[in-house]
Amino acid sequence: MTSTLETIARLRTEIRRLECSRAMVDDQRISSGCEALDALLPEGGVRRGSLVEWLPGSAGSGAATLALHYARQACRQGTSLVVIDRLRQVYPPALAAWGIDLAQVVLVHPRDIREELWVWDQSLRCTAVGAVWGEVERIDGRSFRRLQLAVEDSGGVGLLLRPLRARGEPTWADVRLLVQPYGGHHGRQLCVHLLSSRGSAARGTVLLELDEWSGRLQKARGLHETRTGSLAAQLARTTADRRSTGTYGSSVDHL
Q: Which amino acid is at 163?
A: P
For residue 241, what pLDDT is reported?
44
Stated as kind and residue range, the H or E segment containing 161 is strand 157-161
Q: How many other CB atoms are there within 10 angstroms of residue 108's CB atom?
A: 17
Length of the chain: 255
Residue 72 to residues 78, 140, 157, Cα–Cα distance (Å) = 10, 28, 11
**pLDDT averaged per 10 residues, the chain (length 255):** 66 56 56 86 89 89 88 92 95 88 96 96 96 96 96 95 94 95 72 89 86 70 45 44 42 59
Q: Which amino acid is at 125?
A: R
Residue 223 to residues 202, 205, 219, Cα–Cα distance (Å) = 22, 12, 9
**Burial code of 35-71, b = ≥16 C-beta within 10 A, e = fewer?**
ebbbebbbbebbbbbbbbbbbbbbbbbbbbbbbbbbb
For residue 214, what pLDDT is reported?
60
The whole-angstrom distance between residue 87's C-alpha and the CA centroid of its chain comes to: 19
Q: How far is residue 135's CA from residue 109's CA, in Å, rounded to a whole number?
A: 12
For residue 89, what pLDDT is reported?
92
For residue 187, what pLDDT is reported?
61
Domain 31-245 has CATH 3.40.50.300: yes
| Residues 27-57: tens digit of each pLDDT | 578 888 888 888 898 888 889 999 999 999 8
Stated as kind and residue range, the H or E segment containing 235 is helix 228-245
For residue 212, what pLDDT is reported?
66
DSSP state letter for 164: G
Q: Check if the beta carbon of residue 87 is closer than 8 Å to that of residue 63.
A: no
DSSP state letter for 200: B
Q: How many other CB atoms are there within 10 angstroms of residue 113's CB atom?
A: 13
Domain boundaries, the chain: 31-245
